[in-house]
Structures are given as structure tokens and as C-alpha cells.
Copies of this chain bind each other. A is one copy, B any other.
Amino acid sequence: MKKTRYHHGDLKNALIQAGSEILAEDGIGSLSLRKVASRVGVSHSAPYAHFVDKQDLIAAISTEGFRMLNERFLAVGEHFQGNPDQFLIELAYAYLQFATERPAYFKLMFSGVLEKEKEYPEFVEVSKQNLNFLIHLVEQCQSAGLLKSGPAEVLAVSVWSLVHGFVDLYMERQMPSTVLDHEGVQNLLCIVLNQITLREIRLVPNI
């Protein structure tokens, strides 16, 4: 809020915000420290008072992305409580939706731009939250007879692999157009998801 002050007040968050905007507008290739700095109206070296690195800024933006994905997961969770069939398909759909609506974020988060993620505790923390939510969801699907029994953690990894792989290949335009044109993305995602379910699940239009 309080901008154009000579000490600015909250430059760190302003830089993260500006970085997110540049990412959304012009893609990952245009995300430079100097551009971020100039967008908030500070000198190109000002960011170094708040981030040790470009990597450090990227870690913050990436963490923000995982937080956004997390929010979508939680929204799905709250909306479909006690209906595991819908749970799984809506979670997958939320994943796909996030990727298509915020492609640059998705790319930043899952394309190894951030080199040493283990060194950023906030990043590790929010990643862990995402996985824990997924494990919890898998457990509910298991007790509803929708998924195989067995260690929920392992099954969560399977579900995540399938959904992430599908969405990633879709974003990379590696999905064969023959199949995409015929089925549509959402429908295809549903069919793919059914490879690991015990009962057939169906796509519902509303969220």
C-alpha cells in the first residue's frame, strides 16, 4: 500500500508480487531481477538487501505457487467432504486447471528452475502440506473402496505421479492430438485416472 517511499516499507513482498506478475504476463523467460526491481521502482541492486540470489527470489515465488495449489486442493476438500469418488476426479481437475490457468507458475514449480529446493524451509514445508493432504484424501478413497488398500503414502505417490505426468505431458504438448481431439482433455484425464481405480469414476461438470 505505502509505495514510492524512500525506504518503501515492505519491499520484500512487493518484489515477490512483482515477480509473480511478470511471470504471469510474460513467462519465465522474462523474469529477471532487474525487471522486478524496476517494476516496483527501486534500483537493480535493491533486491539484494532482501534476497541473497535470483534463486532466492525464485524460491519465494515458487513457494507462493505451491501455496496457491494448496488452496485449490483445500477448496476441493471442503466442497466434496464425504464423497470420495468426486474427491479424486476433482483433485485431478484442480491440478489440470491450475496448470492451464497459471502455466508459467506450473512451469516454474515443476521444471527444475529452483536448483536446491531443500535449502528453502518454507518451500519444503508447503510441499509437505500438499503431500499430506493427498495422503489423507487417498485414505478416504481407500475406505470407500475406490482405491486399492495398502500403504496410503505409496498410493498417494502413484496418484500424484499419474495426475502430474498427465498434466505435465499435456502442458508440454506431448499428448497425441488424435486422442486429445477425440476425448477432450478433462475426459481423457478421467479415463486415465480410471486406470488406478477399482470402480469407474465419472467426470462431473460443476465445481
For chain A, the bracket of interface size reads 35 or more
Chain B residues with Cβ under 8 A from A151's Cβ? 179
One digit per residue, 1 when the CB lies within 8 angstroms of any chain B CB and 0 when it does not, for chain A 119-139 equals: 000000001000100000000
B192 and A157 within 8 A (CB): yes
Q: Which stretch in A5-13, A44-52, A73-81, A168-176 binds the other chain?
A: A168-176
Contact of A169 among B113, B117, B118, B161 (CB under 8 A): B161
Report the minimum CB–CB distance from A138 to chain B (whole Å).
11
For window 16-42 of A, CB contacts with B under 8 Å fall at 28
A110 and B154 within 8 A (CB): no
Chain B residues with Cβ under 8 A from A163's Cβ? 161, 165
Contact of A111 among B112, B148, B154 (CB under 8 A): B112
Show 19 residue pairs from A and B whose CB-CB distance is below 8 angstroms, ordered by the A residue: A28-B112, A111-B111, A127-B174, A153-B179, A154-B188, A154-B192, A157-B169, A157-B176, A157-B179, A158-B162, A158-B192, A160-B165, A160-B169, A162-B165, A163-B165, A164-B168, A164-B169, A165-B165, A165-B168
